[in-house]
Structure 1
Amino acid sequence: MKIALLSLAMLGGQLVTPVSDRVPKLNVEATCKATVATDKAMGLDLAQSYDDCMRDEDAAQQQLASVWLANSDQIRNQCVGEATAGGSDSYVDLLTCMQMTDLAKSLAPATALRGASKNRNKK
């Protein structure tokens, strides 16, 4: 019984990794290598080079440093999860997630739309 609980606790610890106050270290080198290989295998005319991919990832990592602490732990955790899903780490994806969250926060609250809703006449 204790072993099962310990295993469950260890599994749970792996599912939720707390994000720190610093931008996480991501393995973007592997992602860039995989992207270049996929582009080559697909025979893309405008395939991205490894150097261009790494330059984009480095630039995104630098930009993240300025917005990282401006977001809550919840948003940082969500965005890190999205940016590392499937074992494909990307600072570009992490930055995009953060920017989209910032944009969503800055939009004015939606007006109460009624349209063809079943509840439109219940007020």
Structure 2
Amino acid sequence: MPISISAIVVGTHLVVAAADGVPAFDISRSCKLDVAATTGPSVDQSLKNCVSDENRARQELVSQWPKFSASSKAQCIPLEGIGGDPSYVSLLTCLQMYLWDR
């Protein structure tokens, strides 16, 4: 089944547009799901720690966003939607690995 050139151009445009700014993730939901997998008396503290880690990672992403290449953003952002809820910590790690690889 051949893919038309216009479909490729449109698809490429969507990836570039998605990489223009730091994506918006629902960290409350992500953290609640992560913490739900744990047990113990410190569930509230675990949730607070998760949200705090995610917020710090997002702040770091915002400040470092221009340093990351468009190709690394195009590789890492879609990975965050695989297998669960996205994470700024995971996205930052992925993008930093591309920086270190240069």
TM band (smaller chain): 0.7 to 0.9
C-alpha distance in 2 between matches for 1:79 and 1:17: 11
- In terms of mean alpha carbon deviation, does 78-87 or 91-100 score higher? 78-87
SS of corresponding position for 1:88: coil
Map 1:37-76 onto structure 2 (within 5 A).
37-40=36-39, 49-76=46-73
Rg (Cα) greater in structure: 1
Corresponding residue pairs, total: 90
TM-score (norm 1): 0.62
Spell out, residue by residue over 1:32-55, the C-alpha distance to the aligned partner (whole angstroms, 9 max, x if none): 000110012xx6x98771110000
Question: Aligned residue for 1:90?
Answer: 87
Q: Is the 8 A contact 1:60 1:91 kept in 2?
A: yes
Misfit runs of 4+, over 2 Å = 45-48
One-letter identity of the residue aligned with 1:92: V
Question: Aligned residue for 1:99?
Answer: 96
TM-score (norm 2): 0.74
Structure 1, unpaired ranges of 5+: 1-8, 106-123
1 or 2 for the larger relative contact order (CA 8 Å, sep ≥6)? Answer: 2
Q: Is the 8 A contact 1:56 1:92 kept in 2?
A: yes
- When the two chains are superposed, the root-mean-square deviation of aligned CA atoms in Å is 2.4
C-alpha distance in 2 between matches for 1:95 and 1:27: 16
